Structure 1
Amino acid sequence: MAHIEALAKVVDSAAFNAKAIPQLAEKEGLSLFDAYSIQEASIRRRIARGEKHIGYKMGFTSRAKAIQMGVDDLIYGKLTDGMVVEDGGFMNVKHYVHPRVEPELALLLKRPLSGRVGMVEAYAAVEAVAPAIEIIDSRYENFKFSLIDVVADNSSSSGFVLGNWRLKPEDPSNLGMILSFDGKPVQIGSTAAVLGNPVRSLVTAARMLAERGESLEAGQIVLTGGATAAEALKPGVSVAAELEGLGRVGFTVEAA
């Protein structure tokens, strides 16, 4: 346990200070179970500093990305209120190591969800949806990492921007998405890229969390996964994501 806490301090300090660190997995001989334990311990450090756990993000929701990383399941990270970037606000790349963004569908839960649930039950637990942009940031040197490294590093979760909450559509499985930099599209995709339907991401979140004795709670946010490839950020760029029928969300990167 002391070893897990020590490694949690390493990854938490890397995120807090925006400093790259060497990969952990190979040197430390970590398992995936260890990686999630490090993630949990690092989030406890954030909470001890006054942040509040408000939800989860799902990763490797793209089949191509999962194959690339050699995994057959999704991964998750935890969201805190300290990661929120205001819609229409600003962020500074100096607070990140390798910041990238991807457009997503965010879900707001109105009741708890745990264990093995079906698609209908999972979507019935959703109160509202919103367009979102996740800011992902691997804290590893040279942007090189393994699956276990990623999970230990809170699955690269570092920030997110939420648009206005709206009534959930009857079918969220194929909503068009456009990610733009300075008004010019840089990525175009669909929620269909998220496991064919982003509700499957929610179903998986409920199952995976239950396996570690946790559950999704009412009022929590779930970022269902990137619908396009991620785009690297640079100072001065204005970022926006538009989600079909649900509006847009955006922010500006502060100039250097």
Structure 2
Amino acid sequence: MVDVHALAATLDEAARDVRAIPKLTARTPLDVATAYAVQRAGIDLRLRRGERVAGVKMGFTSRAKMVQMGVDDVIWGLLTDGMPAEASVDVSRLIHPRIEPEIAYLIGREVRSAAGVESAVAGVAVGFEVLDSRYTGFEFTLPDVIADNASAARFGFGTWHPPRDVSNVGLLMEIDGRPVQTGSSAAILGDPARALRAAARLAVGAGMALEPGWIVLAGAATAAVPLPKDAHVRVTGAGLGSVEVTT
């Protein structure tokens, strides 16, 4: 029998010690359901240290990534209030950080059904997510990445705007003034609203509600790029302004 709590502790210690470890499936067979149990046990460790759940992040929201990983659905992880990066990210506390542009949703009221989740949105913003797989070489299987909370590490977002159509927002990510990624929010399942609905569906399926004040990161609009030390990153979304972070 898989010791879910022991695996969660292994990942938690790797993150806190800033130490890469072999993927879990190198030693322990994992299916998706068990991997999500490991993820939740890892979040529980954070909650016991005083953090609170702050939202949901979506993963594998591009068709290319689904094909690469051999899946036909998105994955998800949980955000906590220990993850926001309001102005800076200390990359020395991360193993191999990468950053990607995002569309963020602000939940305005409790959501207990995937139906009508869009009416619960209080705001939209351009954002970013810093990924940091705890596995050696950033290499993993589907259950590994799910267990590792979908590689969640840090996130940020710009000014909230009233809910609007964000199905085709042009996005630009710059590092030290140099464009490193450009894309469109349409790369997120064709429309980030689909990722929002998936977030509600998966949360409800796990016995959770999307709570007022939570953030939903809809998924990457481009590939993630390495996040170096002593860098200034700006992500700009057409009509949504920008968000900046330094390392």
Letter of the 1:108 counterpart: L
In the TM superposition, residue 15 of structure 1 has moved relative to its aligned partner by: 1.4
Letter of the 1:237 counterpart: A
Q: Which string of whole-angstrom CA distances, capped at 9 and with x for unpartnered residues, describes residues 126-165 of structure 1?
A: 0001111100111101221111100000000000012111
Q: Is the aligned partner of 1:188 residue 2:182?
A: yes
- Give the equivalent residue in structure 1 for 2:23: 23
- Give the equivalent residue in structure 1 for 2:166: 172
Letter of the 1:97 counterpart: I
Q: Is the aligned partner of 1:9 residue 2:4?
A: no
- Give the equivalent residue in structure 2 for 1:204: 198
Letter of the 1:215 counterpart: A
Letter of the 1:216 counterpart: L
Q: Is the 8 A contact 1:129 1:165 kept in 2?
A: yes
- 3-state SS, counterpart of residue 45 of structure 2: helix
In the TM superposition, residue 215 of structure 1 has moved relative to its aligned partner by: 2.2
In 2: Cα distance, 1:154 partner to 1:100 partner: 15
- 3-state SS, counterpart of residue 155 of structure 1: helix
Letter of the 2:90 counterpart: N
Say what the alpha-carbon RMSD is for the aligned residues. Answer: 1.3
Task: Show structure 2 runs of 5+ residues with no match.
Answer: none
Task: Show structure 1 runs of 5+ residues with no match.
Answer: none
- Give the equivalent residue in structure 2 for 1:57: 57
Normalising by the residue count of structure 1, what TM-score does the alignment of the two structures yield? 0.93
In 2: Cα distance, 1:195 partner to 1:2 partner: 33
In 2: Cα distance, 1:28 partner to 1:72 partner: 24
In 2: Cα distance, 1:246 partner to 1:4 partner: 41
Q: Is the 8 A contact 2:2 2:28 kept in 1?
A: no
- Give the equivalent residue in structure 1 for 2:156: 161
Normalising by the residue count of structure 2, what TM-score does the alignment of the two structures yield? 0.97
In the TM superposition, residue 239 of structure 1 has moved relative to its aligned partner by: 0.6
Q: Is the 8 A contact 1:175 1:243 kept in 2?
A: yes
In 2: Cα distance, 1:73 partner to 1:26 partner: 24
- Give the equivalent residue in structure 1 for 2:126: 131
- 3-state SS, counterpart of residue 224 of structure 1: strand
In the TM superposition, residue 225 of structure 1 has moved relative to its aligned partner by: 0.3
In 2: Cα distance, 1:122 partner to 1:177 partner: 24
- 3-state SS, counterpart of residue 65 of structure 2: helix
- 3-state SS, counterpart of residue 220 of structure 2: coil
Match of 1:250 among 229, 244, 247: 244
In 1: Cα distance, 2:81 partner to 2:26 partner: 32
Q: Report % sequence identity.
A: 47
